[in-house]
Structure 1
Amino acid sequence: MLSLYRRYADAILTVLPANRLLALDALRGLTITAMILVNNPGSWSYVYGPLRHAEWHGWTLTDLIFPFFIVIVGMSLQLSLKQQGLTGKFAIIRHAAIRGLKLFALGLLLALFYYNFRDPAYSYIEQKLLTLRWLGVLQRIGVVYFFSVIIVLYCGTRGRIGWLLGLCALYLVGMWYLPYTDSQGAQFSGLLMFGNSFAAWLDHTVLGAGHVYYRSATPFAFDPEGLWSTLPAIASCLTGVLIAQWLQTERSLVAKIRGLLLCGIVAVWLAELWHFSLPINKSLWTPSFVLLSSGYCAIALAACLWLCDVKRWRRWSAPFVVFGANAILFFMLAGFAARALMMLSVGEASLQQWLYRALYQPLFGDYNGSLLFALSFLLLSYLLMHWCYKRGYIFKV
C-alpha cells in the first residue's frame, strides 16, 4: 500500500514545473481541503468545537481557513508579477477586473443554486431571487484581489505597508468613532456587538436586511463578508504580498523559514495581547484578526517549506496539490454538490439528512458520524478532482 502511494505521489509531483513553489501549492490545497471539510458535516447539530466558527469574539481553527486563502491570494499575486510584467499595467488591471467580476458572478451563481422541492408553496423568485445574498466568499476574494492588484502595481514595499496599515486604521476609525442610528433614532458608536456595529449598520443600510447572511440580527442585519470589513481583508491580502516578497529575496531558504517563523510567532503573540482591547473577530475581520491569521499563515508556510524543501519530504503534499491546483473549481463543485444533497429528498428528509441518519449516525454516533460524513464527501470530491487533474483540466477564472 505504501509503495502504491509513493508511485501515485511521484506521478503527481514529477509533472510540476521546476519553478513551482511546492510549499505554497501544498498550503493552498490544505486550506481549500479544510474549507470543504468544515462546510459539509453530516449534521450541523453535531460538529466538534474546532470545526465550528467562534460564536463571536475569539477564534477557532476553522476561523483561520478563509483568511489563509486570502493571504495565499496575495502570495500568488506577488509571485506571478514577473510573468505579467511585460503586458503593461493597464492590461494587468483589466485582467484583474475581469477576474474579480468572474469570481463575484460565480459567488452569485452558487448563492442562486437552490430550490426547496419539499415545500409546494416555495417561491424561487420571492424566497431566493428577491432575497439574494449579495456578498460571500468568492465575492470577497474577487473584490480583494482587484484592489490588491492596483496597490501592488503602483506601490513599492513602503507603499504596500502604508496601505496595509492605513486600511486597518481607516477601518478602526469607522468602527470606533463614526456615529450611526437605528430605525428608532437611537445613536450608537464604538460598538463591536453582534448586529450592532458600524459595519453592521453599513451592511443593513446599503445591502438591505434581506440580502445579507445574518438577516435576523438586531438592530442591524449584517454579513460576515460585508462592506466595511473588506478593508482589513485587503490588508490580509497585502500581508501575503509581503510574505512573497520575503521569499523572493536573495537570502538562504533556511533564513527565509526562520524569518517567517519569527514574524509569525510575534504576530500571533501581539494579536493575542491586542485581543484584550480589540477583540479577535472573524465576522468583523478586525485588525487583530488580520494579525493573528496572517501570523499563523506565515508559520504554516514555514512548516511546509521546511518539510518540502529542507527535509525533502514531498510525497505527503500530492493530494493537496491536486486540490490546490483547482481550488475554485473544487469550491464550486463542492458547493453545488452540497446544495444538491439538500434539495433532493428521501421521504420527508433531504438526501443529506437521510444519508446521515440512515448510515453514519447509527454506525458511528452523532459527532463521529457527522465528521465521517464530511470526510466521505471530501473523498468523493477528491476522486473527481483527481480525474480533472490527470486530464489537465484546470479551471482558471
Structure 2
Amino acid sequence: MNRLKSLDVFRGIAIVMMVLVNNPGSWATIYWPLKHAQWHGLTPTDVVFPLFIFAMGASLALSMGRQLGSERTAIIAGILRRSAILFACGMFLALFFYNPYSSDFNWFADRFMNVRVMGVLQRLALVYLLTALLVLYVPARQYIVWCFGLLLLYWAMMTFVPYRGNDGEVYQGLWQFGNSFAAWLDASVLGEHHVYYGDATPFAFDPEGLLSTLPAVASCLFGVIGGNWLLNSQVNGTGRKSFWLPAVATLVLGLVAVLWIPVNKALWSPTFVLITAGLSMLLLALLEVILSRSGKQVWAKPFVVAGCNSLFFFMLSGIVARLLFMIPVNGKPLKSYLFEQYFLSHFSPYNASLVFAIGFLFVMFIPTWWLYKKRWFIRV
C-alpha cells in the first residue's frame, strides 16, 4: 500500500500545485516562484506540469501491469477510450466560457469558431495515447532508449529542419518565442485562431503544441520507468536505493546539456525534460522512503485525497474558475468582487493574491474530500 500511497501523494502534490498557480487573486501580483519563466529558464511553477505527466506515466506502469494476460485489442480499446475522454474534457473546458461584459459577444462565432484546440488535458490525452501504445508494444528494457531517442529526434527536427515564413524568409534552428520549427508547425496545422499565443510573430503557437508532444512522451516514459521501479522495489530498501543514482544522473545530464540547449517549458526542450524528469524521480524516491516508515503521516492526507481524484479536482477547479469570471457582480466578475472586498482590503496585493489562491484550493478540497470519504474515485 505504501507504494501506491507514495504515487498518490506524488500525484496529489502535482495537482495541488497546478490548481494553486492557476488561480491567483490577481495575475498582476504573483510571487516569483508561482510564475512561469518568461521564456528560457525554469521556476518551481514550470516543474508542476511535467510532474503530473511523470505521475501519469508511473500510474500507467501500474495499470498496464494489472492488465497482463488481457486481450491486446481490449487494452487498446481502453487506451483509446481514456484518451478520448481526456481530450473531450479539455475541449469542454476550452468551450465553457461566456463573456457577459461584452454586448456583442457571440459564443459560436467568438468561442466555438476560435477555440483553442490544445491545452493541458488535450496534451495529457495525446501523451497518454502514445505512451500507452509504446508500453504495450515495446519491451521495458527499451524504455530508456525510447526516451533519449524521442529527445534526440525532437532536437534534430528543431535544429536542422528549415521552415519558411509568410514573407518568404527561411529560418532554421531557432528556439525563440514565435519562431521555431514547433511554432511553424502549430501555425501551419492549427492556425493562429486556435492556439494560445495567437498574436505571436512570425508564427502563432501553443505551449501545449503538436511537435512538443514528442518530448512530453519522453517525460511520461520516464514516469513509466519510475512506476516500474515502484513495482520492483523491495521492503528491505534495496530497490529504493537503486533509483537515486539514475535520478541524479538524469538531472545532472540535463543541467550540463543547458550549455547547448535552452531550458524551455513552452517548447518542452530536451533539457527541460531531463531536468524535470530527474527532479520527479528524486521526489518519488524521497516520498517512497518517507512514506515507508511507520507513523500516521497526517501531512500526506490532503495530497492523497487530491491524488486519488486528480481529474475531478482539476475539472472542478477549471469550471469554478470560469464561473467566477462569468458571474457578474456590480458590473465586474465575481472573482474580482470577492478579491477586492475580502482579500485586497486585508492583505498587501501580493499576499492577497496568494491567500485567495490558497482559499480557492481549500474550497476545491471540500467536495474532493467528500468523494474520498465515500470511496468514490473518478477515473477514466
The 2-side partners of 1:250 and 1:36 are apart by: 31
Q: Is the 8 A contact 1:195 1:218 kept in 2?
A: yes
The 2-side partners of 1:246 and 1:378 are apart by: 32
Query: Structure 1 residues 253, 38: CA separation in 2 closer, same or farther (over 3 Å shift)?
Result: farther
Is 2:163 aligned against 1:180?
yes
The 2-side partners of 1:142 and 1:218 are apart by: 28
CA displacement 1:135-171 (0-9 Å, x = unmatched):
0111111111111111111111333222212211111
The offset of 1:91, in angstroms, is: 0.9
Q: Is the 8 A contact 1:307 1:313 kept in 2?
A: no
The offset of 1:317, in angstroms, is: 1.0
Aligned ranges 1:343-382 → 2 under 5 Å: 343-382=326-365
| Uncovered stretches (5+) of structure 2, i.e. residues with no partner | none
The offset of 1:19, in angstroms, is: 7.3
The 2-side partners of 1:253 and 1:115 are apart by: 56
Task: Name the aligned partner's letter for residue 180 of structure 2.
Answer: S
**Structure 2 residue aligned with 1:98:** 81
> 183-192 vs 165-174, which deviates more?
165-174
**Structure 2 residue aligned with 1:164:** 147
Is 2:379 aligned against 1:389?
no
> 335-344 vs 239-248, which deviates more?
239-248
Is 2:320 aligned against 1:337?
yes
TM-score by length of 2: 0.97
TM-score by length of 1: 0.93
Is 2:27 aligned against 1:44?
yes
The 1-side partners of 2:36 and 2:345 are apart by: 26
**Structure 1 residue aligned with 2:299:** 316
The 1-side partners of 2:144 and 2:280 are apart by: 18
**Structure 2 residue aligned with 1:307:** 290
For residue 211 of structure 2, the aligned residue among 228, 231, 236 is: 228
CA displacement 1:10-38 (0-9 Å, x = unmatched):
xxxxxxxx476211111111110010000
Aligned length: 380
Is 2:282 aligned against 1:269?
no
The 1-side partners of 2:104 and 2:276 are apart by: 44
**Structure 1 residue aligned with 2:191:** 208
The offset of 1:251, in angstroms, is: 4.7
**Structure 1 residue aligned with 2:65:** 82
Is the partner of 2:262 in helix, strand or coil? coil
**Structure 1 residue aligned with 2:15:** 32
The offset of 1:304, in angstroms, is: 0.9
Task: Name the aligned partner's letter for residue 367 of structure 1.
Answer: Y
The offset of 1:264, in angstroms, is: 2.2
Is the partner of 2:242 in helix, strand or coil? helix
Indicate the RMSD between aligned Cα atoms, in angstroms.
1.4
For residue 225 of structure 2, the aligned residue among 230, 242, 245 is: 242
Q: Is the 8 A contact 2:3 2:288 kept in 1?
A: no
Task: Name the aligned partner's letter for residue 212 of structure 1.
Answer: V
The offset of 1:241, in angstroms, is: 1.0
> 384-393 vs 140-149, which deviates more?
384-393
CA displacement 1:27-62 (0-9 Å, x = unmatched):
111110010000000000000000011011110000
The 1-side partners of 2:271 and 2:101 are apart by: 44
Q: Is the 8 A contact 2:179 2:202 kept in 1?
A: yes
**Structure 2 residue aligned with 1:217:** 200
Query: Structure 1 residues 312, 290: CA separation in 2 closer, same or farther (over 3 Å shift)?
Result: farther
For residue 254 of structure 1, the aligned residue among 204, 218, 237 is: 237
